Structure 1
Amino acid sequence: TGEDHLKDLASQVRIYKTAFSAWERLHQNSFKGMTGYQNILQSLRESQDSVQDLNVAIQRYDDFRSYMSVFSSKLFPGTKVFGDHLTLHASFKNAGTGIVLTFNEEQTYMVLTSIQSLRKLGCVLPVEVMYYELPGVVTRDMSTMVDDAGWELRGWALKPWAMLMSSFQEVIFMDADVLFFTNPEALFEDPQYLETGALFFKDRNLDRENKRNWLKKVLALPISDKVKHNRLWTKESGHMQDSGVVMIDKWKHFVPLLLTARLNGIDRDGNKETGKKGVYEMVYGDKETFWLSWEMAGVLDYAFHNGSTGILGKLKQEDEFKLDDSDTDDVNWSKGNHQPQEQRFEHARAQNYTSCSPQLLHLDTEDRLLWLNGWIARSKFSETEDLSIDSFEIFMKEPPRKDLSNKKKIWQLKQDNVCCLTADSYTEITEKDKQTLEMIISFAQEYDWEP
């Protein structure tokens, strides 16, 4: 169990990836992308010179078909309700792009706010949500799609399964408490995504943790350069990925995503009675299972977004600085090209600044606000009337790398999921950013919600 099980699983997945690729090519080459058992038999009948040759060919085909059926059902048992993987994978081809969200009943107001704000930002991507009747949005019952015998489909584990079972080829997954400042459709043109087909985002660079030996036990040699730059390897932190937003081309990355779903399925939980060690006992929830699955499957086509992470909020001693609050005209939300509102004021000094907030901020490669994780309330116990634009005045970036010789922490964890970031500079948010936040807050205040 534990590390040994994951290493053995990685070996099996690599074998399966090779076998599945060959199996799929056999059908695609014969039938121009069409799949089907009867089609293969017809092709064999037409290509063999004798009945004996035909019998041998059919027997070999049947043997390999049986092998693939047993192998796939044992390796990825949660997907068997959808039949064979050829059919599931083929359903992704040319299936377009879209957004997928999961949420529980208490997060309904978050999803409603998120979808309305996306539309206001000009996003016209179709959206699939797991549960709840939303106008213009497809809702799907995952209990009919996933075989969770021996485990329970719930919580964080919903994410990879929702992506896998969505109808799109290219997916942007969003947590319920994620909010974008710009149209997320532009991410499909991101150079890192276009190159790899899998774009991940970084988490806060929290407390130091050495997971190098653990990675050596789990991953096959040689260790990739990407892992050697991963925080779990460099000893910077046990937190590398923020899975609040995940982008995947499912046609290109079918097998790694299958593995991510499995790690959040049958392998997720431990069992003290049997001595089983679950994945969630080895890493923090679902978030590290994405890049880890790619590495375990031997697929290095993935990237962590080059934009910085940080915090959105107010300075801890906000009365020390006067921030600009000049009036401006309304914003063209979908185009985002209102130049006077893009002016930024950055402040720096040797003495550090501190800001505390539950929001984890993600910036684009030009240090503009991209999206945040953690909703817009001051804490998870806030009520609708507590939402205020006054809670957001500045943003701060965390350093790109942690100085391991400096014992001082970059982040301090507080109650109610509040984190405090200390850095040597901060930047005032623009008027456009403020108006985007006001738009989001106005949508949020339309709903009755109880945190």
Structure 2
Amino acid sequence: TIKVPISSYIKGMVSWIAMILFVIYVSACILLLPIRLSGYQWNHVFSRYVASDHTKQLSMNSAIDFNDIVADLKMYSLQHSQYLEEKLFSRWIHREMAKTLEYFSRQNNLKGIVICTGNGHFLLTLVALHALQSIGNTMSIEVMFSTSTDLSASNQKLLTNQFPAVRLVDLSTIFNDSYLELRGWEIKPFAVLASRFQHVLLIDSDVLFLEKPSVLFENELYLRTGTLFFYDRLDLSPKALRWIRSISMKSIGTIPHRTQESGVVLIDKGRTLMGLLSTCKLNEHEQRERVTYKHLHGDKDTWWLGFYLLDMAYSFIPSRTASIGHIHRHTVCGHILHLDQNHQPIWWNGGLFKNRYVNTRDILPIEVWLEEGTWTLAIYSCLINHRQKPRSFNQYQRHLIENYTQITKHVYNIAPG
């Protein structure tokens, strides 16, 4: 028998332990590294932030010229300096920075749906979730809000009980809510930014689909640019156009003259993170209160504008709007309907009520649809098109509409009939 000196045995054990610890250390480092997503590191903007004296001074200075912000955004898209990161984004950071960083270090290549909600339109959110089940959606869903003032604890519990697979996210645990105050339209781009999905389909609570929403991710325009936007009914006002030109004199793209409808927005964050950050910047508290919302209607046109300011490509579905509803004196009255590139109905917003702001008992009779002609916009909008006749829905679409009607009546406790 060969006897091994105890000292050699101990040295061997120490070497093995050291090797095991080294492997564990390397593995942990790899696992903790933010996943690199199509060339962008998600925590690039936030992970290097430290509360330096310079940053604190920037946070105290609220009189930064808006044109300087636009110039800084464009410069940052070309040169990711820590100075510009702190100047542009430091006030978004949650006071416990780790809470913000957590959301920018666990990204993936998944596709999913994001819905923003609050107490005021909570029932619409329940309708939307039931409707997505009805159409056979298989994508994961995140529902976002900001603080229990925005969505009460009882409503949070109700939603999670009815939809246990849906992930409910309080954005005030991720971002600095005392600065951003995300209570309205402005929450939407930040919800996309915070989503765990790389490919995000953002929808409003009153959006209903006439085909599976996942088909939008297959659209050639989305595949080309990593974005997909839809037009609204109105053109941009001359005042808005003048303001946009005044802040984007060096931008080389073309300004769309039609306003954007932000009821449905598709974003590939892996390819378009800089554009999304730019859109978020336009919607942060200081900028929206001081500048952006004085020229634009909420978040709508900040989506394409955030990309335009950085000379980044973005895509609009080229077809114009349509109306969905019933025939009334040679017009189709109801809600705005959106078409795909083949001019076929794909989604509408406004839900199933004629006007939910006036009466949540008066269900809209949906019988036909009509491509855009001349709109008469009011509490109850109507569309006339002398070149076309109203069109009927196919059997599948009629089935969906009937299901959505029954879902709405059930959620709002409306008697059948």
TM-score normalised by the chain length of structure 2 = 0.73
Contact 1:384–1:449 (CA under 8 A) maintained in structure 2? no
Q: Percent identity?
A: 29
1:10 paired to 2:70: yes
The answer to which of 370-379 and 108-117 deviates more is 108-117
1:369 paired to 2:398: no
Q: Secondary structure at the match of 2:275?
A: helix
Change (3 A) 1:445 1:99: same
Query: Deviation per CA, 1:371-397, whole angstroms, max 9, x where unpaired?
Result: 001111111146565326xx1111111
CA distance in 2, matches of 1:180, 1:189: 16
Match runs of 1:350-429 below 5 Å = 353-357=330-334, 359-381=335-357, 385-387=361-363, 391-399=365-373, 410-415=374-379, 418-424=380-386, 425=388, 426-429=390-393
Match runs of 1:108-257 below 5 Å = 108-131=122-145, 132=156, 133-134=159-160, 135=163, 136-205=165-234, 209=238, 211-224=240-253, 226-227=254-255, 230-231=256-257, 240-257=259-276
CA distance in 2, matches of 1:107, 1:74: 35
For structure 1, the residue ranges without an aligned partner over 5 or more in a row are 21-66, 232-238, 271-276, 318-352, 400-409
Q: Secondary structure at the match of 1:435?
A: helix
CA distance in 1, matches of 2:323, 2:65: 38
Match of 1:290 in 2: 303
Change (3 A) 1:83 1:257: farther
CA distance in 1, matches of 2:174, 2:191: 9
CA shift at 1:209, angstroms?
3.7
Report the AA paired with residue 123 of structure 1: N
Contact 2:251–2:311 (CA under 8 A) maintained in structure 1? no
CA distance in 2, matches of 1:312, 1:438: 14
Contact 2:92–2:180 (CA under 8 A) maintained in structure 1? no
CA shift at 1:198, angstroms?
0.7
Contact 1:170–1:247 (CA under 8 A) maintained in structure 2? yes
CA distance in 2, matches of 1:278, 1:371: 32
Contact 1:267–1:279 (CA under 8 A) maintained in structure 2? no
Q: Secondary structure at the match of 1:100?
A: strand
Contact 1:198–1:247 (CA under 8 A) maintained in structure 2? yes
Contact 1:206–1:411 (CA under 8 A) maintained in structure 2? no
CA distance in 1, matches of 2:413, 2:186: 24
Q: Secondary structure at the match of 1:76?
A: helix
CA shift at 1:289, angstroms?
0.3
Contact 1:383–1:449 (CA under 8 A) maintained in structure 2? no
Match of 1:91 in 2: 106
Q: Secondary structure at the match of 2:355?
A: coil
Change (3 A) 1:355 1:210: farther
CA distance in 1, matches of 2:179, 2:412: 37
Match of 1:313 in 2: 325
Contact 1:259–1:293 (CA under 8 A) maintained in structure 2? yes
For structure 2, the residue ranges without an aligned partner over 5 or more in a row are 1-63, 146-155
1:74 paired to 2:74: no
Report the AA paired with residue 110 of structure 1: L
Q: Larger RCO: Structure 1 or Structure 2 (Cα < 8 Å, ≥ 6 residues apart)?
A: 1
Change (3 A) 1:411 1:448: closer
Contact 1:308–1:364 (CA under 8 A) maintained in structure 2? no
Q: Secondary structure at the match of 1:129?
A: strand
CA shift at 1:148, angstroms?
3.5
Contact 2:116–2:187 (CA under 8 A) maintained in structure 1? yes
Query: Deviation per CA, 1:141-194, whole angstroms, max 9, x where unpaired?
Result: 111111144452111011001110111111000111111111111111100000
CA shift at 1:446, angstroms?
1.6
Q: Which structure shows the bigger proportion of residues in strand conformation?
A: 2
Query: Deviation per CA, 1:52-91, whole angstroms, max 9, x where unpaired?
Result: xxxxxxxxxxxxxxx51x4213202343235699986553
Match runs of 1:53-68 below 5 Å = 68=82
Report the AA paired with residue 91 of structure 1: R
Q: Secondary structure at the match of 2:410?
A: coil
Match of 1:346 in 2: none
Query: Deviation per CA, 1:388-442, whole angstroms, max 9, x where unpaired?
Result: 6xx111111115xxxxxxxxxx222223xx2222211222223332221101111
CA shift at 1:259, angstroms?
1.6
Q: How many residues align?
A: 334
Change (3 A) 1:306 1:152: same
Contact 1:148–1:265 (CA under 8 A) maintained in structure 2? no
CA distance in 1, matches of 2:303, 2:368: 31
Report the AA paired with residue 324 of structure 2: L
Contact 2:239–2:295 (CA under 8 A) maintained in structure 1? no
Match of 1:265 in 2: 284
CA distance in 2, matches of 1:220, 1:364: 32
